[in-house]
Each structure stands twice: as C-alpha cells, then as structure tokens.
A and B are shown apart, each in its own frame.
Chain A
Amino acid sequence: MSINRKELEEIATLAQLNIPESQVNEITISLNQVVAMIEHINEADTAAVKPMAHPNDAVQLVRYDEVTDGSHKDELLALATQADDDHYLVPKVID
C-alpha cells in the first residue's frame, strides 16, 4: 500500500490542509514511510480478536447536557479573532 498524489490531495481535503506544490513530493515520501512502518500490524493474526478502543474497555459515560459552571459566553467569545456580542464572525457563506 502506498499513497499517491491523488490520494494525498484527498487526504489534505479531509485534514483541511493545503499542500504547496513544492512540498507534494516530500510529503508523499514522508507519509509513505509511515505507511510502510504501519504495515507491520498485518503480521498479527487478529481473526478472533475484538478491537480495543480504550485501555480499560470502559463504556463512555454520559451526563445531562446542562451548564454546570456558569456562563462564560463573553470570555469564550473573547478568544475568537472575530466576534460580535453574540456570534463568531466568519467570511460570508451565502450570497
């Protein structure tokens, strides 16, 4: 298995990253080195093995979707580069 240029473009889209033309070769080689290393997992016989998502196999705990630490609206909005009193501001989406 190896990643080609077309797949690299698809990966960049999934990752929401831009890859400058000048770096395409270098990044493709670098990613394929990792892919080659990863391939070793295929040496293991896992036919009867269940995937392990968490070390303690714990079930994800849930809680009521309630604000428990007060409202920090202003502090949180202040972290954004562009915001008004109630909203994050982004470039126009709909004409």
Chain B
Amino acid sequence: MINLTIRQMSELLVSKQINVQELSGLFHDRCRVHNQTTGALITLNNEINAAELLNAQASIEAGDSLLAGIPLLHKDLFCTQGVKTTCGSKMLENFVPPYDATAVKRLADAGMVTLGKANMDEFAMGSSNEHSAFMAVNNPWDLSRVPGGSSGGSAAAVAARMVPIATGTDTGGSIRQPAAFCGITGIKPSYGRVSRHGMVAFASSLDQGGVMAPGADDCGLVLSAMTGHDSLDSTSANQPPWQWKKPETADMQGLKVGVASAWIEGLKDPDIKQKTTEAIEQLRCNGAEIIEIELPHADLAVSAYYVLAPAECSSNLSRFDGVRFGYQAKEISDLESLYRQSRTEGFGEEVKKRIMIGAWALSSGYYDAYYLKAQKVRRLISEDFKKAFTEVDIIACPVSPELPFKHGEKVDGISMYQADKFTIPASLAGLPCLSMPIGFSENPQGRLPIGLQLIGRYFDEQSILSVADKYQQQTEHHLQVPEAFQ
C-alpha cells in the first residue's frame, strides 16, 4: 500500500477496497511511528480532520477528483487554519493562523487530507534542515546524514513513505536538493504558477510552492490542483489552472535536451558524475537529441542570490516585531528594546545572519553597488536561459555537486551556499524545474540517492514532468524505499 501511486490509491478508494479513514489512518500511523527516527514532522494532527474526510468521501462518490482521500503533509510555512504554523522558528512557535494558504485550500477542496506539518530549516533558510529551531531531520537512507533543505521534512517524510505526498517550497533549491538527497521527485513550478498567499515569505521574487512525491505523475496531479491565478497574491501569474497530461509512452523522439558539459565534467563526486552521464544517455536512447548549451553567467548565480534573497528576507522579516504576532521578549520597558530583543531571541543564527546581509546590501552606499548590480546579473542569467531555450526544449543538469552529508559535517556556511550552484540559476530566472531520482551511490559512504535536474521554459511544467515520467516508466529508482521504512 505504501508504495502505490495516487492513481492506484484512488482506484482502491473508488472501488471501495479501502476507505478514506483507513488510508489516512495507515499513513497517520506511519507518521507517528517514524517521526521519532526521522524528525520529519513538527506537528502531527492529533486526529484526522473529520470535515476533510467527509469532503474526501463526497469527492470520491462524485468521481470528480483523483486526489480525493489522498493524505499529505504541508511544509510548515503554509498557513493552515487552526493548526500551528511555525516556519521552523521559535519566533512562530505558537502561531496558529486564522486562515489557510491558497495552495492548502485548493488541495483541501480537491479532497486531499492533511495529516500534519513538515519540519524545515527556519524560515526556509538552509540546505540541510539542521537549522530548524525544533529538531534536525534525518535522511531515511542514512539517519546520520541530512535530508537536504529547506524542505527536508517533506522530503524525508515522502522517502520514508510516511505520506505519499508533501508540499514544499523552493527559493534557491529547497525542493530540488532535498528531493535529490532523499531519492524522490520534487518540482518547483514557474514563478507565479502557485499562489504565495499564506506562504510565510522569505524572498518574495524567488519563493515558489511546489510538490514532492515518489514519482513525476504524482507531482503532476497534485501540482495541477494548486495552480491558477489568485487575486490574493499580486505576483500570481494571470494564467488559467494548469492541467498535467501523463504521457502514454516513453518515446522522446523530437525532444531536444540541452546539456552544459562543463557542469558535469566539473563534478568531483564520481558517482554523481557517472549517474548523471548515464541518465542523460538514457534520454538519448529514448530518442532525445542531446545538444550542448552554454550558460556563461551561471557561475555568478550564487553570489547574486546571496545579495537578492537576503535583501528580500530582511524586508519581509521586518514584520516580526514581537507586537502583533510571534515571539515577544519578556520584561522589556521600552518599544525599541521590545523590537530588538524579541527578534534577537526569536530568530536563529542563520536567519539573523541573512537579515543582516540583506540590511547591509540595501543600506545607503551599497544599494547600487550590490543590490542593483545583483539584479542586473540576474537578468544576464535569465537571458542565458532564454538563448538556450531557442535551441532546446529542456535542460538537464545535476541538482547538487555532493551526496547527502553527515549532520554537523558542514560548519562552513559558505560551502553550503556554494553547493546550491546548480539549483540557483533556474530560481533566479523563475523557470520550472524538478529533481528526479537517477540511482544511488555505491561507494564506502553507503547507498545514497542521486538526482537529476530538469529545467523547462517559463510555464512549461508539462515538458519537464513528461520527460521525468517517461524516464520513470523505464526505471525504478523512484520506487525504492529505505529498508528500515518498508
């Protein structure tokens, strides 16, 4: 049961071989049992929401949603009415939103059943999930290693099949990198595709909600229900809801896949290099034409990102003042001290670091030299992609230059930032991109998952998901479950 696709689970629900309570209960139990070892959830709902179960049952009987009755977790930065939304921070430890995020509401309307909230790096800042204020998340493939971040709880929960689906968000790689580290599929759609209303903001021009699941078909089905214009988000794209179409065959005749060979040749990890090469070869064997491309400004992406994302973060997180909601410092006698002490005690060290970098980049004397300069570099990177997409349909490249690392192994923040060099370029350009499992390292470090990134044209989620689904029709990497969780 735990390794069934959404379509297979839906079939069982419709044919009454299982009912919604049983299916949700099964995964709820798995969340309870495995949360101690994985730390994947911050909140497991005590009881499964009765209204959601009724809605799911009605949808199943009406036959109007394949998602009806399918359980899921939301990353703990999606506001959930009446359910704590902490963003992995002491600042929001007791925050219970009075409303649902649009994405949450749309999935509930489609009949999905929310079991709880997934752990994450505080305010989505981190690539290891070691920056959660509550507990680190362990990678189900090796509990001594990180699951990636910031959507590490979502990725670990899906990898351990504690849930079949989890939402995530991606600012510079926060869906794709944990998906790669945990051996699952994760898609960050085009910027503007999914409403950000009710998503606690980190960097407003980069944040985008998406989906994490074992396979591409599941991602496509759930993403379809999350999309469509939302008047409550002024950056929501004025597009009708997108509808995923599962390809019937694995044939890739006519598809042009762009590859920047230098990115692959520069990989230091031999397993990642080999699996990436093999996966691209598999696309070629299926009929795709592999075309060399150049992205000449992409090596400046990490530097530009660490101006832009902190700048936006310093602005967005200024709302946490200890007065209207969130943590408030005790026994403070003046307003200025109340602001400063509440923020100093409520935020973790990584969040404070990024707020300070952002405040510096936006301050008088540095705004033009750094913030505007980084925005110009962002355009150069975006133009590189536009040029590449005149010759190719999708781009294939690594997700991360490294395998999941040990907890506490990376004490140098900069090297963790640099490891996002393959995911950040597409984020800056706002392009849809995904990570799909392409195999495992088989070295003394153990059996650790490896992902391949596919990047598409703006609003062309269909092409990248189709290629991932076709690849997954012929491979079983995405179906692997760590032994301890089978």
Contacts and interface: CB of A to CB of B under 8 A. Distances in A.
Interface of A: 3, 7-8, 10-12, 14-18, 27, 30-31, 33-35, 37-44, 46, 49-56, 58, 60-63, 69, 72, 75-76, 79-82, 88, 90-93
Interface in B317-364: 318, 321-325, 328, 332-335, 337-341, 343-344, 347, 352-353, 355-361, 363
Given A16-B340, A37-B302, A41-B307, A58 B374 contact: no
B377 A41 contact: yes
B414 A37 contact: yes
Contacts of A17: 340, 343-344, 347, 352, 355-356
B104 to A, nearest CB: 15
A41 B374 CA distance: 7
Contacts of B347: 17
Nearest to A34: B357
B297 interface: yes
A39 B376 contact: no
Interface in B182-206: 190-192, 205
A49 B318 contact: no
Given A18-B344, A37-B303, A62 B234 contact: yes
B340 A18 contact: yes
Nearest 7 A/B pairs, CB to CB: A55-B430, A51-B375, A46-B376, A52-B379, A79-B325, A75-B98, A81-B328
B357 to A, nearest CB: 5
B479 interface: no
Contact of B205 (A16, A49, A53, A90): A53
A46 to B, nearest CB: 4
B54 interface: no
Given A17-B352, A50-B376, A52-B376, A91 B382 contact: no
Nearest to B297: A44
Contacts of A60: 234-235
Contacts of B372: 51
A14 to B, nearest CB: 4
Contact of A56 (B95, B192, B332, B428): B192
B413 interface: yes
Given A37-B417, A76-B98, A79-B95, A31 B356 contact: yes
A44 B380 contact: yes
Given A55-B382, A80-B325, A16 B191 contact: no
Given A56-B430, A90-B335, A49 B360 contact: no
A91 B355 contact: no
B132 interface: no
Given A15-B359, A50-B379, A54-B235, A39 B303 contact: yes
Contact of A63 (B231, B325, B341): B231
Given A44-B380, A55-B428, A60-B234, A34 B306 contact: yes
Contacts of A54: 191, 205, 235, 430
Given A17-B340, A41-B303, 8 more contacts: A16-B339, A31-B357, A42-B373, A54-B205, A58-B192, A90-B338, A91-B333, A91-B338
Contacts of B231: 63
Given A16-B340, A53-B375, A30 B325 contact: no
B237 interface: yes
A14 B339 CA distance: 12
6 contacts: A14-B360, A15-B356, A16-B318, A52-B382, A55-B191, A61-B235
Contacts of B134: none
Contacts of A72: 98-99
B370 A41 contact: yes
B60 interface: no
Nearest to A15: B359
B276 interface: no
Contact of A38 (B303, B337, B341, B378): B303
A39 B360 CA distance: 14
Contacts of B379: 49-52
Nearest to B354: A34
B405 interface: no
A15 B98 CA distance: 28
A3 B382 CA distance: 30
Interface string B291-325: 00000010010111011000000100010011111
Contacts of B344: 17-18
B458 interface: yes
B414 A79 contact: no
B274 to A, nearest CB: 30
Contact of A41 (B300, B340, B355): B300
Given A17-B344, A41-B300, A41-B374, A11 B356 contact: yes
